[in-house]
Amino acid sequence: MTRAGWIRTAIVLGAIAALELVTQAGLVSRHTIIPPTAMAAALWGLIASGEIVPDITKTVSNVAAAFVLSVAGGFVLGLLIHAAPRLRRALDPLLATYYAVPFFVFYPLLIVIFGMSDLPIIVIGFLFGVVAMIIATLNGLDRVPRVALKVARLSRMDPVSIALIIKFPAATPYLFTGIKLAVAYSFIGVIASEFILSGAGLGFAISYAYNNFDTPKMYALMLFILVSVTAVNMVLHTIEQRMLRRRGLAR
């Protein structure tokens, strides 16, 4: 682990320890927040009993679908937009302000189109993640060395070969940034949608626990989501750093 990694770990552990001390000392009411150890114990009990396994399965499958669509769709759209400079200039202001749009206002329309199924939830997760991948793809393609492209043209490489051999490897570090953001945004979109669109899933379970004053369960589920997203991003970050080290670009 790098020095920056140790510092991040120390900050997180320090914050957890401080929260534990504050809650155990009674400085904050347990109706507001419970100690991290109580969250972990409640989460272990939920997992051991199997009570939340169906909710986990539902949410993870929806997030996976939204994530795959976001990454694949964002990459393809990024390629198309990058290949059309005029279209890109027209879309740049929209991409810059995209996340100011309240996507959840469209959920009644999505229900009318797709019905009361998982599709509206997946679509909202996709809408959250796809633009992060588009922007990352554009940033990556912008940084492909022009010399490499000139050499490819002189070698009479076809567009597909240029994309696979020249552009994709050069843009990979930036694509990984988009992938990491797409994971986070897909989780946000799916879980937030489950609060209002679903009768199952982790978002619904958290909402139900909140409405029924089941504080331990609510925080246990929130802890599970935080740990899951952090673990996925750590794995992606590790892969990214290994790729960068091979190129001598690791930070």
Give me the pLDDT at residue 134, please. 92
The answer to whether 133 touches 200, Cβ cutoff 8 Å, is no
Binned at pLDDT 50, 70 and 90, residue 5 comes out as: low
Q: Is residue 169 part of a domain?
A: yes
Q: Is residue 124 part of a domain?
A: yes
Q: Is residue 214 part of a domain?
A: no
User: What does the alpha-carbon distance between residue 79 and residue 73 come to, in Å, rounded to a whole number?
Assistant: 10
Supply the range of the domain harboring residue 89. 60-203
Give me the pLDDT at residue 249, please. 53
pTM of structure: 0.80
Which is more confidently placed, 164 or 23? 23
Say if residue 143's pLDDT is above 70.
yes
Any idea which of 64-73, 133-142, 160-169, 197-206 has the lowest mean pLDDT? Answer: 160-169
Q: Is residue 28 part of a domain?
A: no
Q: Is residue 92 part of a domain?
A: yes
Write down how long the chain is. 251
Name the domain count of the chain.
1
How far apart, in Å, are the Cα atoms of 59 and each of 64, 128, 226?
A: 8, 16, 14
Q: Can you tell me whether residue 29 is helix, strand or coil?
A: coil
CATH, residue 78: 1.10.3720.10
Q: Is residue 239 part of a domain?
A: no
Q: Is residue 2 part of a domain?
A: no
Q: Is residue 166 part of a domain?
A: yes
The answer to whether 19 touches 151, Cβ cutoff 8 Å, is no
